[in-house]
Amino acid sequence: MRDSRVERGRLLVVEDEPAIRELLCASLRFAGFTVASAATGTEALTAARSELPDLVLLDVMLPDRDGFEVVRRLRSDGVRVPVLYLTARDGADDRITGLTIGGDGYITKPFSLEEVIARVTAVLRRTRPGSAELLTCGDLSLDVDSHVVRRGPRVVELSPTEFRLLHYLMRNSGRVLSKTQILDQVWSHDFDGDVGVVESYISYLRRKVDSGEPRLIHTVRGLGYMIRP
């Protein structure tokens, strides 16, 4: 059986208010995360290096140094861990400050635990290599679970066959795939069509994915197709 804790990720909760810190830690552990905690900015800097978290939940108002300063220090030391700020302050200026210095988002107090878990999960899916069933190529992303495909902010609507084709290309991003390979992988083996169907679907995909944007789906003359930024 797989260890769900390893699957869900390691979190560092930084919060000086003991009741909130303990509630967050308990709930996130219950949800399957491995959780370490810190009560001050100084402790947070130490723990961010020693615990190797996949994400830091960081209170902005801390007794010694504020959350923004913690992130500034981490970033200047080359620690790139994703950060979600916890704050009662929800002024627009604070948001801009936090995001500019390398945060991944805000959760405003009072928060619901469901919201915290949903936001943590969303950031981890995006940032944690190996855990995310999110394939990306440049600004194109494909969510394997939800079947949502985006080019930048634009959602790309695909038929099931187009989705399977794009999925196969993106799984093999940077590799040349022959038309025969694509036909075998994307269409069932008893499909008695020829590679012409691959050419047709590549052109459908291009119209939806590459319309008016830098091209991602490339023809490699005489060999096949490749997706790459």
Report, in Å, the least distance between residue 118 CB and Ca ion: 22
Short-list 29, 61, 28, 58, CA closest to 44? 58
Contact letters (x/-) for Ca ion, 48-77, by CB under 5 A? Answer: -----------x-x----------------
Report, in Å, the least distance between residue 60 CB and Ca ion: 7
Whose CB is nearest to Ca ion? 61
List strand residue ranges (DSSP E) for 114-229, in order: 134-137, 140-143, 149-151, 154-156, 217-220, 224-227
With a CB cutoff of 8 Å and minimum separation 6, the contacts of 170 are 135, 136, 137, 140, 142, 227
Q: Any contact of residue 94 with Ca ion (CB under 5 A)?
A: no
What is d(CA 163, CA 161) in angstroms, rounded to the nearest whole number? 5
What is d(CA 165, CA 215) in angstroms, rounded to the nearest whole number? 16
Residue at token pair 């025969």: 180
CB atoms within 10 A of CB 121: 16
Only one of the segments 10-18, 22-30, 201-209, 214-222 lies at the binding site for Ca ion (rule: CB under 5 A); that segment is: 10-18
Beta carbon nearer to Ca ion, 18 or 193 = 18
| Total binding residues toward Ca ion, as defined by CB under 5 A | 3
Beta carbon nearer to Ca ion, 16 or 143 = 16
Beta carbon nearer to Ca ion, 21 or 151 = 21
Beta carbon nearer to Ca ion, 16 or 210 = 16
Report, in Å, the least distance between residue 93 CB and Ca ion: 18
Beta carbon nearer to Ca ion, 61 or 134 = 61
For residue 110, say if its preceding peptide bond is cis, omega within 30 degrees of 0: yes
What is d(CA 54, CA 68) in angstroms, rounded to the nearest whole number? 18
Window 16-45: residues binding Ca ion (CB under 5 A)? 16
Contact letters (x/-) for Ca ion, 131-170, by CB under 5 A? Answer: ----------------------------------------
What is d(CA 88, CA 60) in angstroms, rounded to the nearest whole number? 8
Report, in Å, the least distance between residue 89 CB and Ca ion: 10
Report, in Å, the least distance between residue 24 CB and Ca ion: 12
Beta carbon nearer to Ca ion, 60 or 81 = 60
Task: Show the DSSP H helices in 91-159 as ranges.
Answer: 92-100, 113-127
Asked if residue 85 lies in contact with residue 61, where contact means CB atoms within 8 angstroms, the answer is no
Residues that bind Ca ion (CB under 5 A): 16, 59, 61
